[in-house]
Structure 1
Amino acid sequence: MPHACRSTTQPELTALFGDVQQHFLNVIVPLWQGPGWNADMALPYEALDATHQPLPAQRYRAMACARQLYLFSSLIGVVDNADVRAAALFRSLQRHFHDAEHGGWFYSIDAQGKPLDVRKDLYTHAFILFACAHFWQKSGDPLVESTLNAALEIIGRRFATGDGLYEACLERDWITLQTGPLQNPLMHLAEAFLATLAVREDPQTQKALLELCTAMHKHFVDPQYGVLMEKPLGAVDNWYEPGHQFEWYFLLQSSALLRGSKLHGALDRAFAFTEQYGVLQSCGAVRAMLDLEGDGRPRDSTQRIWAQAEYLRALTLRAGSEAVVLRQLQALRQRFLHAGGWHECRDENGEVSRKDMPSTTPYHLATCYSGLAEYLR
């Protein structure tokens, strides 16, 4: 979608974005080319500490591998050898996590590379689909497209519940665990469907995406406030997360196919409500979890960098938000980025509460910066 920044904001915003982009390319990405990369396993470590040392390896997740595959796919042509790293990550995804016996991909392997958590979860499969769509767009490798097709097929055949929704988690052999559908995996599935449609015409995937969004509106959107709950309506101990509201909003608003849908309309109307209770006006920090009861009181006021990035990305698609985009980019740089990398979390008082840097976070920064680049273009 085209944007027009006010001339008073544009130069400052452009300069600041240049700074954070250079920080990303010169500080964050090299962490995962060097100390964050286990060359023996050809996998990223799960996290680095504040001194850039890998945390002791206890597991490697397929989802983390897929997020880094997306990261380096997005950097092909921008960062030297990004194509080589993306190809290595794609091979590792298949070598370490693919279940040759039952199909699909394991959740995790242990430090020695043996299957650890062998359940099949939708979140993982959605990220594999998402990453393969991006890598195929850049590489044109038919093997990547065949993996994309396999992921689509298994999601549709194994996870689908028949009403537009999908099970969150199944046993290794696809026996049900009775988890039912959950918001977050479904959001990333919508993201993966959109990524697939961006690289090819695919009527079946388009139909699945539209049915998913219709079902999300029916089963997850609170009818009074219009926010998306984390569990289906009526579930015990339900809540909503501002970061996910903003993430969904961006996906829907940025898609010509989904813009104007009932789900988009609900989240568009609920945007101000989510900001009112989910964003601290004093510093622009996004709260982690809110209850709907009691005027949206916070259930968890942890401030996470990914939610900060998703709010900033969503703001790029809000009319008249130029000054707020600038404010939020300033908040992201000042509160979360530092010379050695980033702060993953701050507590409700604004104190840094996590010193480690997970391998999954650069995905959020990459998608945020992509949205900002489009906005400034």
Structure 2
Amino acid sequence: MAVPPELLSCAAKFESWIKDECLPLWAERGIDKVSGGHYEQLGADGLPDLTAHNRVRVQARQIFSYAYAYSKGWLPTGADMANELLHFVISHALHPTARQGFSHLMDARFNVVDAKQDLYDHAFIFLAYSAIYRATANKDVLDAATQLLSYWDEHFGSIVGGWHEGDYDAPHRRQNPHMHLFEAFMSLYECSSDVRWLARASEIFALFQVHFFDSKRGVVLEYFNHNWQPHAGEFGTQIEPGHMMEWVWLLRWYQRLSGHDVSRYTQPLYVKALELGFYGQSKLMFDFVYIDSDANVTLHSGTKRCWPTTELIKAHIAQARAGNLQAEKLAAQSIEQLFTYFVSAETVGGYCDQRGENNEITNANIAASTLYHLIVACGEVLQYCNDMRS
């Protein structure tokens, strides 16, 4: 089947930028030469922010990113960089008293300043393990993933499904960490062929079906009480269109692995996310909106970060795979929007983090956490183009 020439052109531009500009920028300036830790962000000028605290979650995302880039042939040193960064995390961020797991936050000099154990952080540790195994076939990381999951099951597993937020008193439960565990477990299954990981992904799919997906309004809910009931008040009305698009991509991936038809979820999510995300004819997808019981929309800040656009691209590609050929052209348009509004003109390989309600830049920093979103979006686009041409 022929791929539209505009998508092929955008895919080539995307890959060239990732491989020749973005990854070299991070490889050169992202890692502290003394400690081996990864900086949280670069400034708009492309220089490391030496004042920002460094989240362990971001260290894990960068491990994934470099290993993923190596597997794609974009970064020959990526496997070594990922392994070295994993060694840094194990050396510097292991929880000081627990027998397993990692701390949450380090200061600007990479000393732990918050040792809490957080589910969202650990979802990316699992994803990092999967990427390193895919890149190196080192079975030690699979063993580490198995041991870490056993630890979380024992200490933080919930009798009503999923896991608690961590070893702290959380005001609510979030779908977001579970969404990324869904991603990590599928990645672990795909690279190892161990059906135990697909079974764990299926547990999270059940949570999505029963709790996360609001079939009446066609949205994904973000915040819940401890029994997975929708959170009361403002938290219960906040919707993130980017997460809805992320679920479209993940659910289609799950269908390929499990054979479970997910169309009853992906189609309404995709349509509703387009409606909410571009409410009022916005050119870029909003970070979040608020909706009432009838799905009427209220905007607050009107901000638009870079990452929802990458998830939009992935959702378009996922829907194109499912037979929506119009989504191919929409994917190309979204890649153009990414380059128009977020790819930095000031620093080669850079990108801005966020724009405001009128598309003005509100955060010009180059966030390390966004690299993961960018390279996966690029990888999905290229894989689709290659699959359709073969």
Q: Fold conserved (TM > 0.5)?
A: yes
2:23 to 2, 21, 29: 29
Deviations 1:44-75 (A, max 9, x none): 11111111121123422211111111111012
Residues 287 and 58 of structure 1, relative CA distance in 2, 3 Å threshold: closer
Gapped regions of structure 2 (runs ≥ 5): none
Partner of 2:297: 296
1:75 to 65, 69, 72: 69
Aligned residue pairs, count: 365
Deviations 1:51-110 (A, max 9, x none): 112112342221111111111101224323222211111101111111253021001122
For residues 23 and 41 of structure 2, the distance between their equivalents in structure 1, rounded to whole angstroms, comes to 13
Matched residue type, 1:143: D
Q: Please state if 1:225 is matched with 2:213.
A: no
Within 5 A, what are the aligned runs for 1:328-343? 328-339=334-345, 340=347, 341-343=350-352
Q: State whether residues 239 and 289 of structure 2, in contact with CA within 8 Å, keep that contact through their aligned partners in structure 1.
A: yes
Q: State whether residues 99 and 106 of structure 1, in contact with CA within 8 Å, keep that contact through their aligned partners in structure 2.
A: yes
Residues 154 and 180 of structure 1, relative CA distance in 2, 3 Å threshold: farther
Q: State whether residues 69 and 375 of structure 2, in contact with CA within 8 Å, keep that contact through their aligned partners in structure 1.
A: no
Within 5 A, what are the aligned runs for 1:307-318? 307-318=308-319
Partner of 1:174: none
Residues 19 and 186 of structure 1, relative CA distance in 2, 3 Å threshold: same
Partner of 1:248: 247
For residues 304 and 222 of structure 1, the distance between their equivalents in structure 2, rounded to whole angstroms, comes to 24
1:183 to 159, 175, 183: 175
Deviations 1:304-354 (A, max 9, x none): 110000001100122121221121111111111134211211101010111
Within 5 A, what are the aligned runs for 1:35-184? 35-76=29-70, 77-99=73-95, 101-102=97-98, 103-171=100-168, 177-184=169-176
For residues 292 and 83 of structure 1, the distance between their equivalents in structure 2, rounded to whole angstroms, comes to 44
Partner of 1:273: 272
1:198 to 190, 204, 214: 190
Identical aligned residues as a percent:
22
Q: CA RMSD in A?
A: 2.0
Deviation at 1:23, TM superposition (A): 1.4
Q: Please state if 1:234 is matched with 2:230.
A: yes
Gapped regions of structure 1 (runs ≥ 5): 172-176
For residues 157 and 267 of structure 2, the distance between their equivalents in structure 1, rounded to whole angstroms, comes to 27
Deviations 1:158-196 (A, max 9, x none): 22202332112324xxxxx24453111111111111111
Matched residue type, 2:314: R
Larger relative contact order (CA 8 Å, sep ≥ 6): 2
For residues 178 and 24 of structure 1, the distance between their equivalents in structure 2, rounded to whole angstroms, comes to 37
Q: TM-score, normalised by structure 2?
A: 0.88
Deviations 1:244-270 (A, max 9, x none): 0000110111222456466x6234223
3-state SS of paired residue (2:142): helix
Q: State whether residues 107 and 121 of structure 1, in contact with CA within 8 Å, keep that contact through their aligned partners in structure 2.
A: yes
For residues 289 and 278 of structure 2, the distance between their equivalents in structure 1, rounded to whole angstroms, comes to 11
Q: TM-score, normalised by structure 1?
A: 0.91
For residues 282 and 328 of structure 1, the distance between their equivalents in structure 2, rounded to whole angstroms, comes to 15
3-state SS of paired residue (2:239): coil
For residues 240 and 277 of structure 2, the distance between their equivalents in structure 1, rounded to whole angstroms, comes to 8
For residues 125 and 179 of structure 1, the distance between their equivalents in structure 2, rounded to whole angstroms, comes to 19
Deviations 1:201-229 (A, max 9, x none): 33333222212221222222224112111
